[in-house]
């Protein structure tokens, strides 16, 4: 698996945001300029996410632009994302429970809330 | 050669579609669990009981479309999509949960857009289905609709006032297709 750049051929369909570690959340770029310790943690966290994503065989794109909420990720395969979401606790991660899905028919992004439970993911 | 016909297979469950006809139907939209579902490009379904079986047994190329509340259960599945909002039909209170599956298929065909849309095995029924069909046909005067039956039998008069509808049997459909494709290429 390789982390692909945005391109329509990949048909990246699903979007979720993985929250930063608690001490890094909601930090402005201005703040980060004065806090190299946080930048270091953010970089280490990003590397961890990249390593995790590389265990999946289908393309996943990690947005390189800084987002205050967390790391924006785009997934091609629903089963990969399902597995990732089910294992977030085990991996010591928290994914913001909002799922973006691009409709293959009209190309529009649809947003859903979801809940991860032991017996599966419930999309609302 | 590109197909220039979109075919909608309705819910009459009466006509047997032979292999010659099935082979030239172009983009195929099937309503619910019709026997042609296995070769469909799209299957429209708003029956929850049918949905699970169709998703499990669908061909790889087939996309199953269903309304949003039913779609949520299959978000992570490959080849299942939420039926789009049909903007042209919003003023007519088109409801994907309450309409028939064949109306949904027809709406999808019109939304996808094509100069010719053929209707196969399409149920006509005076209370709901026929008025819905006529309303949609009227909404798209530039689309040529073909109402195709296995055998034409008595000519149905309900389309007499509609210039963009032709009725035909399978043989006539094959002839139409050949002429249409030849003319286009």
Tell me which chain B residues have a C-beta less than 8 angstroms from the C-beta of A105.
63, 65, 81, 83-84
B73 inside 8 A of chain A by CB: yes
pLDDT for the residue numbered B156: 77
Domain boundaries, chain B: 5-184
- Altogether, the residues listed in chain A come to a count of 124
Domain boundaries, chain A: 8-123
Helices (H), B23-144: 48-57, 68-71, 101-112, 129-139
Nearest CB to B82: which of A77, A79, A103?
A: A103
pLDDT at A51 over 60: yes
| pLDDT confidence bin for A2, thresholds 50/70/90 | very low
Cα–Cα distance, B45 to B32 (Å, whole number): 5
Q: What is the mean pLDDT of chain A?
A: 92
Percent of chain B exceeding pLDDT 70 equals 94
- Give this prediction's pTM: 0.90
pLDDT for the residue numbered A11: 84
Percent of chain A exceeding pLDDT 70 equals 92
**Token code pair at residue B150:** 């296995």
Cα–Cα distance, B14 to A85 (Å, whole number): 46
Tell me which chain A residues have a C-beta less than 8 angstroms from the C-beta of B68.
110
Pairing of strands A14-19, A98-102: antiparallel
Instruction: Locate the chain A residue with the closest alpha carbon to B83.
Output: A105
A112 inside 8 A of chain B by CB: yes
pLDDT for the residue numbered B151: 84
Cα–Cα distance, B129 to B57 (Å, whole number): 28
pLDDT for the residue numbered B15: 87
Cα–Cα distance, A20 to A42 (Å, whole number): 7
Tell me: the pLDDT tens digits for A15-48? 999 999 999 999 999 999 999 999 999 999 999 9
Helices (H), chain B: 19-22, 48-57, 68-71, 101-112, 129-139, 170-184
pLDDT for the residue numbered B184: 54
Is the ipTM beyond the 0.90 threshold? no
B60 inside 8 A of chain A by CB: no
Can you give the C-alpha Rg of chain A in angstroms? Answer: 15
pLDDT at A6 over 90: no
| pLDDT confidence bin for B138, thresholds 50/70/90 | very high
Q: Report which DSSP code applies to A3.
A: B
A111 inside 8 A of chain B by CB: no
Tell me: the pLDDT tens digits for B162-180? 999 999 999 999 999 998 8
Contact criterion met (CB < 8 Å) for A77 and B75 = no
Rounded mean pLDDT, A58-64: 95
pLDDT at B153 over 70: no
Instruction: Locate the chain B residue with the closest alpha carbon to A122.
Output: B73
């Amino acid at each position: 698996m390789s982390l692909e750049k945005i391109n329509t051929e990949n048909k990246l369909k699903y979007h979720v945001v993985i929250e930063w570690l608690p001490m890094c959340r909601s930090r402005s770029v201005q703040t980060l300029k004065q806090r190299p310790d946080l930048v270091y943690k953010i970089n280490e966290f990003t590397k961890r996410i990249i390593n995790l994503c590389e265990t999946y065989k289908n393309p996943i794109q990690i947005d390189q632009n800084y987002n205050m909420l967390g790391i924006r990720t785009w997934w091609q395969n629903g089963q990969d994302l399902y597995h990732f979401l089910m294992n977030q606790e085990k991996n010591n991660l928290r994914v913001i429970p909002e799922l973006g899905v691009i409709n293959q028919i009209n190309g529009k992004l649809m947003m859903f809330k979801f809940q991860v439970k032991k017996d599966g993911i419930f999309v609302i | 050669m590109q197909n220039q016909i979109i075919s909608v297979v309705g819910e009459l469950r009466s006509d047997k579609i032979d292999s010659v006809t099935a082979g030239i139907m172009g983009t195929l939209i099937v309503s619910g669990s019709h026997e042609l579902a296995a070769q469909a490009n799209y299957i429209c379904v708003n029956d929850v009981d049918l949905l699970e079986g169709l998703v499990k047994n669908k061909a790889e190329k087939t996309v199953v479309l269903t309304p949003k509340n039913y779609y949520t259960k299959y978000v992570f599945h490959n080849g299942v999509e939420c039926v789009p909002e049909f903007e042209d039909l919003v003023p007519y209170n088109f409801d994907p949960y309450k309409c028939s599956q064949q109306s949904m298929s027809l709406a999808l065909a019109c939304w996808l857009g094509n100069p010719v849309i053929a209707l196969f095995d399409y149920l006509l029924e005076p209370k709901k289905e026929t008025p819905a069909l006529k309303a949609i046909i009227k909404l798209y005067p530039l689309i040529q609709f073909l109402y195709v039956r296995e055998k034409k039998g008595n000519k149905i008069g309900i389309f007499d006032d509609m210039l963009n509808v032709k009725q035909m049997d399978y043989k006539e459909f094959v002839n139409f297709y050949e002429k249409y494709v030849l003319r286009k290429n």
